[in-house]
Structure 1
C-alpha cells in the first residue's frame, strides 16, 4: 500500500479535506510500504506521523521545506537518506527500525535546525562508541535518544571521533556480512522459502481444523521464535492482516446466520406478544369525546430518527418496528385501525398510539382520585386505600342528599373546641366610666373633647 490522494484526504478531515494547506498529517498504522504523493502536494506540512508501517526507504519528502517533526518509528528503514531538503527539520524519530549503516547519519550534517534524534532499537546502537560518534558527527544536536548532550560529553566525543570511526566501520562490516550471508546465500534463501511455505500450509490446515477460528493459532504464532529482520516484520504484518480479515469474515457470517424472529402468530391465528427491543411501555384505556380508546405509550429511543420507526395497527394487535426490532402486542378487544392515531414527543421521543374500540365496555377506573362528570351532578370518587369506614363523600349540585347539623358543626374532637370553652369560662371585664369630681362644673360653652 502506498500514500494516495484518497488516503490523505480521509486523514485531513480536521482541515476540511484540503491538502495544499495541510500542516499536520497522521498516517500511522496504515500498512504503507512506500512514501508517495506528499512531496508535490503537501508542501505546507510541519508535522508528519508515519510510524508503525512497512516503509523500507526514506523517499519523496525532501521537498517539504517547512517540515519540523518526522516520525518514522517501527518501520523497515535500513539507511538514513533523502532528508537534505528538509531545511526546517527539528526532530527526527527512527526508533525500532533496522538501521545498520551508522555512517549514514552524515546525511544529516547540513540540517542546521536538527535538535533531537532518536535511534533506540536499531542495530547500530549496539556498536561500540555509537553515541560519541553521532554527537561528534552532528554538532547541532541537543538531544540524542531522549538524553541531553552536555558540553563535556561533546568535547570528549570530538576527541575520540577518529578512534570510534574505525570501530564503527568494523561493526558495520560484521553486520552486513551476517546479513548478506543470511539472505544472499542460496541454501539459506531456499531454506527460508521452504520454511515460509511450510508455515503457510500448517497455518491453513489449522484454520480448517478450527473452522476458521484464528484465536487458537494466534497464540502459537506469537510464541514462535524467529529472526529479527525486515522480512520477519513483514511476515508479522501479513499475519495481522490475515487475522483482521478472518475476524471481519467471522463477524459478517455471524450477522448473516443470526436467527431472526419471523413467527408473529400462533397456529390458530392468535398474535404473540413480542418485545425484541426490550423497551418500556404502558397500556391503558381512556375516554375521549364519548369514545373508548386503547392507549399504548412506548418509550421509544429518544435519539432515533422517526423514519426508522414503523407502526402497524390491526383489529386485534398493534406492531411497532424500531430499526428491524419488533414490538407486538395482542389487544383484548377489536379496534378501528382506520381511526387510530400515532403521535411522537419531540422532547422525550415517546410514541403514543390511540386505538378506538369497536364495542364500548365498562372501564376499570384507576385507584387514584379522579372527578367523573355525570348528568346533573359532579361526583368525586376516591381510592379504596383513602376511604375510611366504607363511607363515601358526595359533592352535589342538585338536591341535597344529606342535611347538615349546624348546631354540632364544631365537634368536641376539634382542636379549636378547647379554645372556645376557655373563652366561655373566662371572666368578662367591662369598661366602667369614672365618676365626676366634686368640683366639676358643667359649662355648656366649653367645646367637647375630640
Structure 2
C-alpha cells in the first residue's frame, strides 16, 4: 500500500521551490495510492489536484481545501460521491471510469454551488435509465455533463416527470447494490478458499498431519508406492517455465467481472511479478563487460551507443577520433584514457572503447570538446609516421650485372614475378654520360677509370710533341 508522504509531495512541488504550504497545484497520478490523506492539512492553498489512475476507493480528507477548483479522480475505485461539501470553490469534478453505482449520491454535490462540470463516463450509474435527466435535475448549477453542454430546454425537460425518473433510478440502484453485495461475497469466498488451500498444503506433501509414528510409517510406504506408480504412468516432467506461462495465460484469459476487487487483484498480481523479477535480478548480477580478453586482445565496445568517426590525418601524421557526445552533458562526466593501441572513454558510467589502426603517443594526445555540437575530438599523433622520399640517391651500376647468377636465390628470383620499381616521371632527368668516370681536369687527356691502372708511357709514343687532346674535337676517323 502506497501512502501520501511529505517527500512525495515535495518532489512534485519542484516548480514551487519544494514548498508545500503555498502549493496551488500538485499531480499525484499513477502512484498506486490507496488512500487520500494529509493533503488537506499540508496544502491549504491548493487549487488543482490530480489523483487519477490510482487505487483510491473512497473520497475523504478533502473538506479543508476551501480554494480547490479542479479535482481529478479518474481511473480509481470510487463507488460513492461523498465528503466534498467543504470544497466551496469546486468547479470541475472528474470521476471518469470509476465504480459509482449509487447515483443518488450525486445529490451531495448540491452544496458545491460553483460546480460547472461533472464527468461520470465509464461508471455503472451511466447505464441506468433516466441517468442524465436525474443528474441534470438534481444539480441545477451544472453547465456541462460528460462533456456535453446542458442547454435550457434540456433542463426544463429534466424537471418533467422527475418523480417517475427518480423511482426508476432508485429501483435500478437497489438492483445494482444487491449485485455488488453478491460480487463481494464471491470475492471473499474465493480469497478464503485460496487461503484454505494454501494451509492444507502446508502439513505434508499429501496434506496430512503425521502425529502417530506407528500409523504414519505404513501410510508413508503406501504413498511412496502410489507415487512411483504415478511417475511410471505420467509423461516426462514438463518445463516449469511453460507451467508458469500457462498459469499467467490462465490468469489473464479467465473472464471476471469488472469490479474494484478484480482491478485490485490485477494490480497485486503485477506487483508480485515485478518484485519477483527484481529479486531475480539481484540474485543474478549482470556480468561485467569484457574489455580485454585473456589473451590480451582489445575489444571494441560502445555501451552509450554514440555515433563516432575514426580518421587518419596524413598531413599532420595523427589519428582523429570524433565522438558525438550529448550536447548538454557536463564535461566532468567524461573520462578519457588513451593507450598506445586503443582509446577508452567513460561517458556517464558507460564504456566506449575502440582499437586504433596504428600505435600512437598517449602523452602527446589532446582532447577537445566542441562548444556548439558537444562532440569530443581526440587527436592522437602516431609513433612512426609514413616514410616520405625527399632526396633521390643514385647508385652505380653493378659490375656483375651481366654475370650469370649461380646462386639458388637468384634462380628462384628469376622464376618469380619480376620486381617492379616505382618511377616518378616528373623527377626523371637525362643521365650525364660525360661525368660517369671522374677526372681531375678537362685538359689532362682522355677520361680514365680510377679502377683501371693507367698505362705506362714509353718513349715510342704515337703522338707528336706538343699534341693536346681536346675532348670537344671529334675524332678524325
Asked whether the two chains share a fold, i.e. TM above 0.5, the reply is yes
2:291 and 2:298 in contact (8 A); partners too: no
1:132 and 1:160 in contact (8 A); partners too: no
Instruction: Provide the secondary structure at the position in 1 that maps to 2:386.
Output: coil
Shift of 1:235: 0.5
User: 1:353 aligns to what?
Assistant: 380
Cα deviations by residue, 1:150-198 (Å, 9 ceiling, x for unpaired): 222212222322222222222222222232234348xx73344325887
Cα deviations by residue, 1:311-367 (Å, 9 ceiling, x for unpaired): 1535xx44424345353547867x876xx223111214111233656xxxx73349x
> What is the distance in 2 between the residues matched to 1:244 and 1:97?
25
Q: Does 1:257 align with 2:256?
A: no
User: 2:365 aligns to what?
Assistant: 342
Check 1:118–1:363 CA distance in 2 against 1; reply closer, same or farther (3 A cut). closer
Q: Which moved more, 1:156-165 or 1:274-283?
A: 274-283
> How big is the alpha-carbon RMSD for the aligned residues of Structure 1 and Structure 2?
3.7
> What is the distance in 2 between the residues matched to 1:143 and 1:243?
42
Q: Does 1:327 align with 2:358?
A: no
1:274 and 1:326 in contact (8 A); partners too: no
Check 1:113–1:331 CA distance in 2 against 1; reply closer, same or farther (3 A cut). closer
Unaligned runs of 5+ in 1: 202-207, 288-293, 367-371, 375-386, 395-450
> What is the distance in 1 between the residues matched to 2:318 and 2:279?
45
Q: Does 1:281 align with 2:310?
A: yes
Q: Does 1:152 align with 2:147?
A: no
2:346 and 2:352 in contact (8 A); partners too: yes
Shift of 1:248: 4.8
Instruction: Provide the secondary structure at the position in 2 that maps to 1:109.
Output: helix
The aligned runs of 1:78-89 (5 Å cut-off) are 78-89=79-90
Instruction: Provide the secondary structure at the position in 1 that maps to 2:87.
Output: coil
> What is the distance in 1 between the residues matched to 2:353 and 2:12?
41
Q: How many residues align?
A: 347
Match for 1:209 among 240, 245, 257? 240
Check 1:129–1:329 CA distance in 2 against 1; reply closer, same or farther (3 A cut). closer
1:20 and 1:41 in contact (8 A); partners too: yes
TM-score (norm 2): 0.63
User: 2:258 aligns to what?
Assistant: 228
User: 1:300 aligns to what?
Assistant: 323
Instruction: Provide the secondary structure at the position in 1 that maps to 2:336.
Output: strand
Q: Does 1:179 align with 2:169?
A: no
User: 1:166 aligns to what?
Assistant: 167
Q: Does 1:121 align with 2:110?
A: no
Check 1:152–1:229 CA distance in 2 against 1; reply closer, same or farther (3 A cut). same
Shift of 1:232: 0.8
> What is the distance in 1 between the residues matched to 2:423 and 2:69?
86
Check 1:101–1:95 CA distance in 2 against 1; reply closer, same or farther (3 A cut). same
- Structure showing greater Rg: 2
Shift of 1:33: 0.3
Shift of 1:259: 5.6
Shift of 1:59: 0.8
TM-score (norm 1): 0.67
Q: Which moved more, 1:31-40 or 1:176-185?
A: 176-185
> What is the distance in 2 between the residues matched to 1:134 and 1:332?
81
> What is the distance in 2 between the residues matched to 1:238 and 1:86?
33
Match for 1:391 among 401, 416, 426? 426
2:48 and 2:69 in contact (8 A); partners too: yes
